Amino acid sequence: MAGKILVFLEQRNGEIKKASFEAVKAASAIADKLSIEAEAVTVGSEISNLENVGGYGIKKVTHFKNSELANYSNSAYSKLVADFAKEIGAGIILFSNTSLGKDLAPFTAVKTDAGIAMDITVIDYDGNDLILTRPIFAGKALLELKVNSPVKVITLRPNVFSSGEPSNDKAEIEVKDVSSPDLQTKVVELKKSKGKLDVAEADIIVSGGRGLKAPENFHLIKDLAEVLGAAQGASRAAVDAGWRPHSEQVGQTGKTVSPTLYVAVGISGAIQHLAGMRSSKYIVAINKDKDAPIFQVADYGIAGDAFEIVPALIEEIKRVKS
């Protein structure tokens, strides 16, 4: 059979990310189905929550450690992960489709002679073959595929596979000290956007569009995001006008998101915007034009003026929460 399944765990600031726990859970499900072994690998310096991986179904974790590996280096990380995958005879190597995973997976694939499938949202089986589904054309269509090489590299879209409730099991961690990592390409500094939650990682997103009319009105979006514990997003029209930074843009040429709740305020719902958010579990639209295409995908809509609705919504959420 296919050899082992190996999951790459992504750490940032010494903490394993939520998307990696989703990947661990998915890997242990694949391992059960195919009757193969699953293990995990990570690269970094100190990592605080590594043991918790055990709670999601994988017991064995190998940690390649060196203080210079705290920050990402595609040359060093891909070499360590690929060599390790070969050493343990991995047939499937799983990553999360995060900015790091999207970068690391292809290098690892070439180094392990693997075929590669990105941004998978559904894993199915045909006997022992994995049938993988991924959105294409920014979600306007879905592609079902199979990877026919002996080794397969697969990345999973974050927020799609549930990590479930963890058990109290702890993973067994083997630390391997790395003596001279290949730091040919490396991150020398991390610039964080001031304590903000990124749309790509948020469970709730509140986005504003041209309907807000001016940059100063975006305090409405910010306030609503705050009471909901949400990240702030924007349409391209709002970004192109210079009202919001590009990092907030949702859509075909912005970020693809699939949060539990997406609130679109003053956004018409152009096809390129829908492409980035239509797979959200719940969509709320506030738009004064009741024929706006956004209402075609919205679960709940209010066809009214954002300047009236949003403040009322903020007050009502505060009231219900308290």
Partner 1 sequence: MKIAVCVSHVPDTAAKINIASDGKSIDQNGVTYVVNPYDEIAIEEALKTKEAFEGETVAISVGPESNKDSIKKALAMGIDSGVLLKHEGFIDSLGVARALADEIKTLDAKLVFFGKQSVDYDNSIVGQLTSELIGYNCVSVVVDFKLDGEKIICEREIEGGREIVETTLPAVITAQKGLNEPRYASLKGIMAAKKKTIEEKDAAAGENVVEVIKMKKPPVKQPGRILGEDATVVPELVKLLKEEAKVI
The residues in 290-319 that bind ligand FAD, with binding defined as CB under 6 A, are: 292, 305-307
How many residues in the shown chain lie near ligand FAD by CB under 6 A? 28
What is the rounded distance in angstroms from the CA atom of residue 220 to the CA atom of residue 200? 21
Closest CA to 145 of 133, 158, 160, 136: 133
Residue 23 contacts partner 1 per CB under 8 A: no
The answer to whether 161 and 122 have CB atoms below 8 angstroms apart is: no
Residue 75 contacts partner 1 per CB under 8 A: yes
For ligand FAD, the closer of residues 17 and 273 by Cβ is 273
- Partner from partner 1, ligand FAD, none binding residue 209, C-beta < 5-8 Å depending on class: ligand FAD
What is the rounded distance in angstroms from the CA atom of residue 60 to the CA atom of residue 173? 6
What is the rounded distance in angstroms from the CA atom of residue 23 to the CA atom of residue 38? 11
Q: At what angle do helices 99-111 and 74-88 cross, to 10 degrees?
A: 50
- Partner from partner 1, ligand FAD, none binding residue 105, C-beta < 5-8 Å depending on class: partner 1
Q: Which two tokens stand for residue 14?
A: 């010494």
Provide CB contacts within 8 A for 125, sequence distance 6+: 33, 34, 131
The answer to whether 316 and 226 have CB atoms below 8 angstroms apart is: no
| Least distance to partner 1, CB of residue 135, Å | 7
Give Rg (Cα) of the chain: 21
* Among positions 2, 94, 238, 297, the unique one binding ligand FAD when judged by CB under 6 A: 238
For partner 1, the closer of residues 51 and 103 by Cβ is 103
How many residues in the shown chain lie near partner 1 by CB under 8 A? 93
| Least distance to ligand FAD, CB of residue 287, Å | 4
What is the rounded distance in angstroms from the CA atom of residue 14 to the CA atom of residue 77? 15
What is the rounded distance in angstroms from the CA atom of residue 74 to the CA atom of residue 79? 8
Per CB under 6 A, contacts with ligand FAD among 138-157 are none
- Partner from ligand FAD, partner 1, none binding residue 235, C-beta < 5-8 Å depending on class: ligand FAD
Residue 265 contacts partner 1 per CB under 8 A: no
For partner 1, the closer of residues 178 and 261 by Cβ is 261
- Partner from partner 1, ligand FAD, none binding residue 301, C-beta < 5-8 Å depending on class: partner 1
- Partner from partner 1, ligand FAD, none binding residue 74, C-beta < 5-8 Å depending on class: partner 1
Residue in the block written with tokens 């499900």:
29
Read off the DSSP letter of residue 291. Answer: T
Question: Considering Cα of 224, then 163, then 198, then 258, what sign does the dihedral take?
Answer: negative
Residues 200-239: x where in contact with partner 1 by CB under 8 A, - otherwise, as a string: xx-xx-----------------------x-----------
Please choose, out of 25-33, 48-56, 121-129, 249-257, the segment that lies near ligand FAD by the rule CB under 6 A. 249-257
Burial, 167: exposed, middle or buried (Cβ in 10 Å; 0-12, 13-18, 19+)?
Answer: exposed
Residue 273 contacts ligand FAD per CB under 6 A: yes
For ligand FAD, the closer of residues 7 and 237 by Cβ is 237
The answer to whether 131 and 125 have CB atoms below 8 angstroms apart is: yes
For partner 1, the closer of residues 62 and 112 by Cβ is 112
Per CB under 6 A, contacts with ligand FAD among 170-229 are 209-211
Binding site for ligand FAD (CB under 6 A): 209-211, 235-238, 249-254, 266-268, 270, 272-273, 276, 286-289, 292, 305-307
